[in-house]
Amino acid sequence: MLETAANARVIQRIRHDTRLRLLTVTGITDITPLMRRIRLEGDMTGFVSPGHADHIKAFFFPEGTPSELPPVGPNGAQFPPGTRREMRDYTPRYWSVDEGWIDLDFVLHGDGPASGWAASTQIGDTLVIGGPRGSQVVPLAFDWYLLAGDETALPAIGRRIEELPAGIPVVAVIEVESKAEEQHFETEADITLLYVHRNGAPAGTTSLVRDAIAAAGFPPGEAYAYIAGEVNMARAVKAHLIEERGFNPEWVKAAGYWHLGIADAQEDH
Ligand SMILES: Cc1cc2nc3c(=O)[nH]c(=O)nc-3n(C[C@H](O)[C@H](O)[C@H](O)COP(=O)(O)OP(=O)(O)OC[C@H]3O[C@@H](n4cnc5c(N)ncnc54)[C@H](O)[C@@H]3O)c2cc1C
């Protein structure tokens, strides 16, 4: 019996063929003052993203986006030698393969090629994306789900909240700058959504998420926890859950989505 329950909780890992897409910006919407949703249109044939925390790679070229896609080899995109580029990870928020579009939500944090691109892009600009290369699908066999993070995790947390079925308890604790940055989600899950506000403190410098979780009562039973955002925040929340709240380490996924003071940094725990 116990064996069956454990099997049902195995995380499914799926690999996908790597595919590059050259997409055109067709929509720019500030869903909150610091979160910009960018709709990109183009050939989305074969796009799949079954995991709420999947990511695509977005490519940024200081000399301008190439007009043609390069071939993809075993190590990824094979741009001509000398092509300067930066890559950053973003969560597929919404998409339609049939209609040929994808929405990405960018935090406008003010520094870096991705945030800079999102802040200045115009309708008609182009963006190259690749992936997702893989997905992790967390089964619905847990008693409840904990989601925690900062605003970079809002797309992944939002996807999860929207996909969880009716009645499943989910507790979400999310740090944002202020009330104006709060997002609310359509779901049939039994959600407790708690926002904490930095109120002017720089992102990545507070213990607000950890402190709010430490003060929170939890539903009964065993949970799967997904934590994402600044590396140190994600680490601190994971340590608290395992060391002080008795979570099974196998069922706590902490993803460092960015690292305070370091460009192009992420970490998995
Ligand atoms: C799997 C995954 C999924 C992600 N999904 C999303 C998503 O959907 N939307 C999203 O906005 N981000 C998402 N991120 C985070 C995003 O990739 C990083 O924030 C990335 O560093 C942004 O790149 P940049 O070029 O803007 O800044 P970088 O060049 O990487 O960094 C420049 C400076 O800005 C700082 N910085 C980076 N991000 C932030 C931030 N959010 N707030 C404050 N300072 C910051 C860095 O510490 C550095 O000092 C995701 C990350 C991962 C790993």
CA atoms within 13 A on the CB side of 40: 23
CA of 231 from ligand 1 middle (Å) equals 11
CA atoms within 13 A on the CB side of 249: 4
pLDDT digits (tens, 9 = 90+) for 6-27: 789 999 999 999 899 999 999 9
Q: What does the block give as tokens for 100? A: 């040929």
Mutational test site, ligand 1, from 257, 258, 259, 269, max ligand atoms within 8 Å of CB: 258
CA atoms within 13 A on the CB side of 155: 25
Tell me the domains of the chain and their CATH numbers. Answer: 13-134 (2.40.30.10), 138-268 (3.40.50.80)
What whole-number distance in Å separates Cα of residue 182 and Cα of residue 83?
39
CA of 217 from ligand 1 middle (Å) equals 30
CA of 156 from ligand 1 middle (Å) equals 14
φ, ψ for residue 261, nearest 5 deg: 85, 0
**pLDDT band, residue 268 (cuts 50/70/90):** confident
pLDDT digits (tens, 9 = 90+) for 194-248: 999 999 999 999 999 999 999 999 999 999 999 999 999 999 999 999 999 999 9
CA of 38 from ligand 1 middle (Å) equals 16
SS3 assignment, position 62: coil
* pLDDT at 1 (0 to 100): 46
- Report the b/e string of 29-57 with b at 16+ CB within 10 A: eeebebbbbbbbebebeebbbebbbbbbb
Atom of ligand 1 nearest to the CA of 255: 53
Share of the chain above pLDDT 70, in %: 98
Burial of 177: CB neighbours in 10 Å, binned 0-12, 13-18, 19+? buried
> What value does the mean pLDDT of the chain take?
95
SS3 assignment, position 202: coil
194 bridge partner residues = 173
Using the structure block, give the residue that is written with the tokens 């709420």: 52
pLDDT digits (tens, 9 = 90+) for 100-125: 999 999 999 999 999 999 999 999 99
Evaluate whether 145 touches 227 at the Cβ level (below 8 Å): no
Pocket of ligand 1 (CB under 6 A): 55, 88-91, 105-107, 109, 111-115, 152, 155, 203-204, 255, 257-264, 266
Q: What does the block give as tokens for 183? A: 């997002």
CA of 39 from ligand 1 middle (Å) equals 19
At position 218, the amino acid (one-letter code) is: F
- Residue 207: CB atoms within 10 Å: 15
Measure Cα distances from 63 to 72, 124, 225, 253 in Å.
Answer: 21, 17, 41, 37
Mutational test site, ligand 1, from 86, 115, 259, max ligand atoms within 8 Å of CB: 115
CA of 44 from ligand 1 middle (Å) equals 24
CA of 198 from ligand 1 middle (Å) equals 17
Evaluate whether 34 touches 108 at the Cβ level (below 8 Å): yes
Using H for helix, E for strand and C for coil, what is the string for 75-115? CEECCCCCCCCEEEEECEEEEECCCCEEEEEEECCCCCHHH
Q: How far apart are the first and last CA of the chain?
A: 30
Radius of gyration of the chain (CA): 19
Atom 19 in ligand 1: which residue has the minimum CA distance?
258
Atom of ligand 1 nearest to the CA of 35: 11
